[in-house]
């Protein structure tokens, strides 16, 4: 079997301009949401990443007509031909977001059979809150050999989530927009992509109010038309590029982004001593004179995002002093730090807390990505390290970052992709 590696020659300063691709997690919710329309939907700014290609296959397997032009970042979905309510195990297990076909198929057909989702191994990822929402909407929910079988047209209701869940909030929204009657979601997630999905649904005739707050009100509509919609820029790609710029003591202008989505990270970089300036849809990150240590505690939006915890903790391995990183969302999201110990990082992990003693230098080593953001964090580690770092299991990075190494190389990094026999 052949596998791909990234070979990174470190200590190159990143300089210049780059731009951000369309949101992965937004696209992965908006594409299934298009199944709720009664006409074709054109989705713009869809990133060319592996997870999107899997979704294209799932849509076709359900009977939808799909045309995806990766070079144009354009997907056209005509859901009027959808005839199946069953997603295959082989497709669903490839990614987490396959759970959105539960809410979308339920909303469209009143029936869905969707295997429990796969996705990155970053700790336990139950979907009890999704089930709770479907049940509250009057749907029969049963387990059938590793899949969830949902039956019955949703009826509007009130749902109070026991915890804040992005996936659960979006799935409930998908199931409720065409329900009979009104639905109120409380303790809802406020992430930018929750708002993006609501905006998309509203653009095709749904009535979703309050997305971006913890209470979302949905008036069920029997009919949704087709339309054209542009996905927001990827918040986590933006953050990864910001951290890479800081890590290489560079000076990078990041275009096509939404600076207000980045406030939690921006505040932390400023606290570290990094210069961050923003203007309209642009963020500039410049090295200050020193990187100070930080305390980071991940939270739901607008708190510090768990998806940027891995990249920023890679950066903190070289900050001055001791940093403490507390991961509150997922239980197993420090594997990048364990890998970075091979590079000379000084880390102590106890439960959900990582204590990082800043070192003056990292050295290149062979390391292994075990999930998407772990891969991004190891690339950042490689950019900082003296010598050559090899990051294997690049497929994790390809699932969620569009042309990461090309973008970094255009800024002055030295990253080569090689294919090796395993
Ligand atoms: N949770 C439950 N029960 C549920 C749902 C969630 O206990 O029914 C728990 C989870 O175990 C976790 C917390 O609630 O501890 C938050 O989970 P959430 O449902 O918000 O996460 P998700 O929908 O599984 C999405 C993103 C993740 C991102 C999280 C948090 C997608 C496809 N995935 O996951 O993205 O980390 O929200 O923001 O949108 C990534 O892009 O690398 C990634 C992992």
Average pLDDT, stretch 100-112? 97
Average pLDDT score, the chain: 96
Domain architecture of the chain: domains with CATH: 2-21+233-421 (3.65.10.10), 24-230 (3.65.10.10)
Q: Single out the residue of 261, 343, 268, 339 nearest to residue 309, CA to CA.
A: 268
**For residue 303, how far is its CA from the centre of ligand 1 (angstroms)?**
14
Q: Which residues are catalytic?
A: 120
Q: Single out the residue of 369, 301, 298, 329 nearest to residue 4, CA to CA.
A: 369
- Tokens representing 23 are 């949101």
At 181, is the pLDDT very low, low, confident or very high (cuts 50, 70, 90)?
A: very high
Average pLDDT, stretch 170-197? 98
Alpha-carbon distance 297 to 326, whole Å? 5
**For residue 166, how far is its CA from the centre of ligand 1 (angstroms)?**
6
**For residue 129, how far is its CA from the centre of ligand 1 (angstroms)?**
11
At 323, is the pLDDT very low, low, confident or very high (cuts 50, 70, 90)?
A: very high
Question: Residue 387 pLDDT more than 80?
Answer: yes
- What pLDDT score does 121 carry? 74
Percentage, residues of the chain above pLDDT 70: 100
Return the residue whose CA atom lies nearest to atom 12 of ligand 1. 329
- What pLDDT score does 289 carry? 86
Q: Single out the residue of 279, 198, 283 nearest to residue 20, CA to CA.
A: 283
- What pLDDT score does 125 carry? 82
Residue bearing tokens 């713009």: 44
**For residue 325, how far is its CA from the centre of ligand 1 (angstroms)?**
19
Which atom from ligand 1 is nearest to the alpha carbon of 305? 38
Question: Residue 124 pLDDT more than 90?
Answer: no
Average pLDDT, stretch 313-328? 98
Which atom from ligand 1 is nearest to the alpha carbon of 120? 44
Alpha-carbon distance 35 to 16, whole Å? 40
At 119, is the pLDDT very low, low, confident or very high (cuts 50, 70, 90)?
A: low
Which residues contact ligand 1 via a Cβ below 6 A? 25, 28, 96-97, 120, 124-130, 163, 165-168, 189, 236, 306-307, 329-330, 372-373, 400
pTM of the full structure: 0.97
Quick: pLDDT tens for 4-37: 999 999 999 999 999 999 999 999 999 999 999 9
- What pLDDT score does 420 carry? 83
Question: Residue 118 pLDDT more than 80?
Answer: no
Quick: pLDDT tens for 201-224: 999 999 999 999 999 999 999 999
- 69: buried, middle or exposed (CB in 10 Å: 19+, 13-18, 0-12)? exposed
Which atom from ligand 1 is nearest to the alpha carbon of 371? 42
Residue bearing tokens 């708002």: 195
């Amino acid at each position: 079997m052949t596998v791909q590696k990234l070979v990174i020659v470190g200590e190159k300063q990143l300089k210049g301009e780059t731009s951000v691709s369309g949101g992965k997690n937004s696209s992965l919710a908006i594409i299934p949401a298009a199944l709720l329309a009664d006409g074709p939907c054109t989705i713009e700014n869809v990133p060319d990443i592996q997870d999107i290609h899997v979704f294209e296959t799932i849509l076709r397997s359900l009977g939808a007509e799909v045309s995806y032009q990766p070079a144009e970042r354009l997907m056209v979905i005509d859901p009027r031909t959808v005839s199946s309510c069953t997603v295959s195990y082989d497709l669903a297990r490839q990614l987490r977001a396959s759970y959105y076909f539960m809410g979308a198929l339920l909303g469209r057909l009143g029936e869905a059979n969707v295997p429990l989702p796969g996705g990155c191994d970053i700790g336990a990822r139950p979907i009890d809150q999704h089930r709770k929402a479907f049940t509250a909407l009057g749907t029969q929910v049963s387990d059938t050999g590793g899949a969830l079988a949902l039956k019955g047209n949703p009826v509007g209701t009130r749902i109070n989530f026991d915890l804040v869940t992005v996936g659960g909030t979006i799935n409930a929204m998908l199931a409720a927009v065409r329900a009979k009657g009104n639905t109120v979601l409380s303790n809802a997630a406020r992430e930018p992509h929750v708002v993006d999905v609501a905006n998309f649904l509203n653009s095709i005739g749904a009535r979703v109010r309050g997305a971006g707050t913890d209470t979302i009100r949905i008036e069920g509509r029997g009919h949704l038309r087709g339309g054209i919609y542009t996905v927001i820029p990827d918040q986590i790609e933006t953050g990864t590029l910001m951290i890479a710029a800081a890590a290489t003591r560079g000076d990078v202008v990041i275009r096509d982004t939404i600076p207000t989505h980045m406030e939690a990270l921006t505040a932390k970089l400023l606290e570290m001593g990094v210069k961050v300036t923003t203007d309209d849809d642009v963020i500039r990150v410049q090295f200050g004179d020193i990187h100070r240590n930080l305390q980071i505690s991940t939270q739901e939006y607008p708190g510090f995002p768990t998806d940027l915890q891995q990249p920023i903790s890679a950066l903190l391995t070289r900050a001055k002093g001791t940093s403490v990183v507390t991961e509150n969302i997922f239980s197993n999201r420090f594997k990048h730090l364990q890998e970075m110990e091979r590079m000379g990082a000084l880390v102590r992990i106890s439960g959900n807390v990582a204590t990082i003693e800043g070192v003056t230098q990292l050295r290149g080593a062979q390391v292994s990505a075990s999930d998407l953001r772990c891969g991004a964090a190891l690339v950042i580690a490689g950019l900082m390290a003296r010598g050559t770092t090899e990051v294997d299991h690049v497929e994790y990075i390809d699932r969620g970052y569009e042309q990461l190494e090309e973008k970094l190389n255009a800024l002055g990094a030295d990253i080569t992709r090689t294919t090796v026999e395993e």
